[in-house]
Structure 1
Amino acid sequence: MLTHDALIRLCRARDRLRETEGRAPIAAIAREAGLSPYHFIRQFAAVFGATPHQYRIDARIERAKHLLARGNHSVTDVCFEVGFESLGSFSDLFARRVGVPPSQYRRRWQVPSRVGTLPPALIPGCLLLMCGEAASAIFKKH
């Protein structure tokens, strides 16, 4: 049975693992939580459903998805920003976890900068209902 104090320490450890700039070793985070690395990993997995290492990787991938969707960063910049040391391993892991490579994920979330570049599937349905074919003419690239 986990005490309230132990749960609070595990939650603090989870927050530390989510930090991409700190990159503290798991053994150090376990010490901060007042546990041996072995017990820390077991209790963390029991409470959060993933080992600390898996949780840290998931947090980095989520942060990478956020940065890529904003479109302000290159894939290489995102790779290093979220704490990976190798672009190749980042791209492979991202593709395995997300289902598409980071460059494709980034393209998927980029918003067209001009209305004239909207694909027909993105024309609002209410506009199509009101204007019919004239609506698609409005959104055609000139």
Structure 2
Amino acid sequence: MIDRDYALPLDVATIAAKVFMSPAHFSRKFRAAYGETPYNYLMTRRIERASALLRAGMSVTDACMAVGATSLGSFSTRFTHIMKETPTSYKARDHGAIEAMPPCFVRSTTRPRRTATAPGTTGAPSNASSQSSRIEEVSAPEAQ
């Protein structure tokens, strides 16, 4: 659901209901399976899709809105944290080598991989009582 509906405003309660789990149980199981919170996974997918749009020539603002981010500043900060460069510099960089690759290699090669937790997060296991059940840009960090 996250992979398919990444551009929609998703929340843990809605996703958990689809799989017949409580939000807290779903968050724990998701983190155990993917190594990150549902929000982090969602943001990684959004950044992954935005990087493809930027490579195709879309403006940073349009890419931000197309992937469901509501704040350009938060999007740029998250993009920079995950991709290790700003969206503008990523867009300006030559992507000729990527364009020559088969699509399956492009997805694998360009998939964002995090090595540290996002700003404002602890990196500790998800705790339903300390995290908001809302998966939005103001929440927390990625995987697959």
Contact 1:70/1:110 (<8 A) preserved: no
> Does 1:28 find its partner at 2:30?
no
Shift of 1:107: 0.6
Map Cα deviations across residues 62-104 of structure 1 (whole Å, 9 max, x no partner).
0011111111x11000000001111111111111111110010
> Does 1:80 find its partner at 2:65?
yes
Tell me which of 25, 29, 35 is aligned to 1:39.
25
State the identity %.
Answer: 41
In structure 2, distance between residues paired with 1:104 and 1:23: 27
Amino acid at match of 2:45: A
Shift of 1:60: 0.3
In structure 2, distance between residues paired with 1:60 and 1:21: 7
Amino acid at match of 2:30: F
Tell me which of 83, 86, 90 is aligned to 2:75.
90
Contact 1:68/1:75 (<8 A) preserved: yes
Contact 2:7/2:46 (<8 A) preserved: no
> Does 1:54 find its partner at 2:46?
no
Q: How many residues align?
A: 95
Amino acid at match of 2:93: R
Query: For structure 2, which runs of at least 5 residues remain unmatched after alignment?
Result: 97-144
| RMSD (Å), alpha carbons | 1.3
- Corresponding residue number in structure 1 for 2:113: none
Larger Rg: 1
Higher helix share: 1
Alignment of 1:96-115 (within 5 A): 96-109=81-94
Shift of 1:23: 2.6
In structure 2, distance between residues paired with 1:85 and 1:107: 23
In structure 2, distance between residues paired with 1:77 and 1:34: 35
In structure 1, distance between residues paired with 2:53 and 2:71: 17
Spell out structure 1 runs of 4+ moving beyond 3 A.
none
In structure 2, distance between residues paired with 1:68 and 1:100: 13
